[in-house]
Amino acid sequence: MAFVTEDNLSDLAVKRWATAHSPRLAELMTALVRHLHAYAREVRLTEEEWAAAVEWLTATGRISDDKRQEFILASDVLGLSTLVVQLNHRFSAKATPATVLGPFHIDGSPTAGFGADMSDGVPGTPVFITGRVLDLDGTHLPDVVLDVWQADADGAYEAQLPEIDEARLRALYRTRADGRAHRAGQRNRGEVRARTGRR
């Protein structure tokens, strides 16, 4: 039986994953192993750095729950979320680029009328936002659903506030026949509360 060495380890790990139950999983995992091993070699990863990364991932998992998915935020700060969206949704150069659904999106927002205030009594400075939705030829698009959510004046999203059990600063708006949408909310101080594991 051959010993596992630095020279043969990557090949052995790739070989194990090559027999995964689906060809796509095999492709994903063998590529991941190759790139992870290449990264560790490139930066000469120390045991302490590896342990710190494991601790960070563990902490990220611990603070995730059904309303707050911190691994998505970790993916966001690494730029991976945006890359995956853009790889899978390529549009004309004239179109608004695809972007990630976040941060802290929650499904099932209530429907709000044109110009309705989604802050619903939450303290803060009012803000009014208006715009139009157009196709690539500049034609107005009626009845488009805009799923809108925002942080409060302190930079916190509903998903970050476990004491909140109803929709807060989020709503669904529809464009009118002229493609226009108008909504009211509140201005925050410019900082958004974002924590992934620990710094």
**Average pLDDT of 143-161?**
87
Torsion angles phi and psi, residue 51, rounded to 5: -65, -40
The DSSP code sequence of 19-40 is T-SSHHHHHHHHHHHHHHHHHH
Name the average pLDDT for the chain: 87
Distances (CA, A) of 147 to 75, 101, 144, 170, 185: 22, 10, 10, 8, 13
Tens of pLDDT along 5-14?
999 999 999 9
d(CA 118, CA 197): 30
User: Residue 111 gets which letter from DSSP?
Assistant: B
Of 21-30, 45-54, 74-83, give the lowest mean pLDDT range. 74-83
pLDDT the model gives residue 141: 94
Is residue 195 scored above 50 in pLDDT? no
Name the pLDDT band for 188 (thresholds 50, 70, 90): low
Pick the CATH number of 105-188 from 2.160.20.10, 2.30.30.700, 3.30.70.20, 2.60.130.10: 2.60.130.10
Domain extent listing, the chain: 1-45, 105-188
Question: What is the model's pLDDT at position 197?
Answer: 38
Strand spans (E) along 95-191: 125-132, 145-149, 170-174, 180-187
Per-residue pLDDT averaged across 40-63, rounded? 97
Q: How far apart are CA 181 and CA 103, in angstroms?
A: 22
Angle, helices 80-88/70-77, rounded to nearest 10 degrees: 80
Q: Are 154 and 189 in contact (CB under 8 A)?
A: yes
> Which string of b and e fits 27-58 if b means at least 16 CB within 10 Å?
eebbeebeeebeeeeeeeeeeeeeeeeeeeee
pLDDT of residue 39: 98
| CA 80, chain centre distance (Å) | 9
Q: Are 131 and 181 in contact (CB under 8 A)?
A: yes
CB 185 within 8 A of CB 121: no
Kindly state the DSSP code that residue 61 receives in the 8-state scheme: H
Please give the average per-residue pLDDT across 16-28, as a whole number. 97
- The predicted-structure confidence for 120-147, as pLDDT tens digits, reads as follows 778 888 888 889 999 999 999 999 999 9
- What percentage of the chain exceeds 90 in pLDDT? 51
